[in-house]
Amino acid sequence: MFERKIEIHRDEAFEGLEAARQYAEAAQKSTRRYMAFLERLEALSIEGRYLDVGAGPGILTSLVAEKFPWVEITALELSEAMVSMGQDYITHHGLEGQINFVTGDAADEEFIQSLGKFDLIFSTYTLHHWEHPRKVIDNLVTMLADDGLLFLYDLRRVWWMYWVPVNNGFFKSIRGAYVQSEIEELLQDIPSECYDIKHEFPFMVSVFIRRPVS
Ligand SMILES: C[S@@+](CC[C@H](N)C(=O)[O-])C[C@H]1O[C@@H](n2cnc3c(N)ncnc32)[C@H](O)[C@@H]1O
């Protein structure tokens, strides 16, 4: 029963303007979902270039830009519909000078390397959507500047979610998310001193990864 249910990948397509619009509307209505992440980011106090992977319609990207006006952010997104929504959103908020939206796949090594190096690479609510998570993680780790940090913030599968009689997209996402042992398995071969996994109440997880010293 507690198995990872990944129908989410089929049910919740981010392709198409209508799906992107609906996601953007929900994200704008409940920016609370980003608050714990923003607090963590503030505590990290990282200067320089940021990369937001799977930026969606750029709601969180904009919150980060407004909170840290001195950083430069590249917002990478697979879905053209999301990028289009995101570009409109950042222009409306006067953030086009600080955020650069690009369309592309984080699993595409050649493309992603062309974006350069980053002091902070973050990704919110996307880990459980990645078709090739380890490939994406490996790509992102190589894009870290010296002392750079990869910060993945996502939902975490919790057993009691299977007893909640709700089946909307959000609850499906939780059932499609990873538990700690699965994340550890994903990160196998990365030295344990290079990563840290922290549970966040009630069903979130933060994963911090640094580049192994070669
Ligand atoms: C649940 S949304 C999260 C959006 C945003 N990060 C947020 O927190 O609101 C996941 C996003 O990841 C994008 N995505 C999934 N796989 C990707 C990949 N391989 N490369 C880039 N973006 C990807 C999807 O298109 C989608 O917009």
The pLDDT score that the predictor gives to residue 15 is 77
For domain 8-209, give the fold: Rossmann fold (3.40.50)
Centroid of ligand 1 to alpha carbon of 76 (angstroms): 8
> Whose Cα sits closest to atom 12 in ligand 1?
54
The pTM assigned to this predicted structure is: 0.95
Residue 76 Cβ contacting ligand 1 at under 6 Å: yes
pLDDT for residue 31: 95
Please name which of 112, 169, 171, 164 lies closest in space to residue 142, comparing C-alpha atoms.
Answer: 112
| Average pLDDT across the chain, whole number | 93
Pocket test for ligand 1, best of 77, 103, 140, 152 (most atoms within 8 A of CB): 77
Higher pLDDT, 159 or 199: 199
- pLDDT tens per residue across span 16-31: 899 999 999 999 999 9
Percent of the chain clearing pLDDT 90 (strictly above): 81
For residue 34, give the ligand 1 atom closest to its CA: 8
The count of C-alpha atoms lying within 13 angstroms of the C-alpha of 92, restricted to the half-sphere facing its C-beta, is: 10
Verify whether ligand 1 is closer than 6 Å to residue 126 (CB atom): yes
Confidence bin at 167 (pLDDT 50/70/90): confident
Residue 1 pLDDT class (50, 70, 90 cuts): low
CB distance 12 to 54 below 8 Å: no
pLDDT digits (tens, 9 = 90+) for 111-123: 999 999 999 999 9
The pLDDT-based confidence of 191 (bands split at 50, 70, 90) is: very high
Closest by CA to 61, choosing from 12, 101, 19, 106, is 101
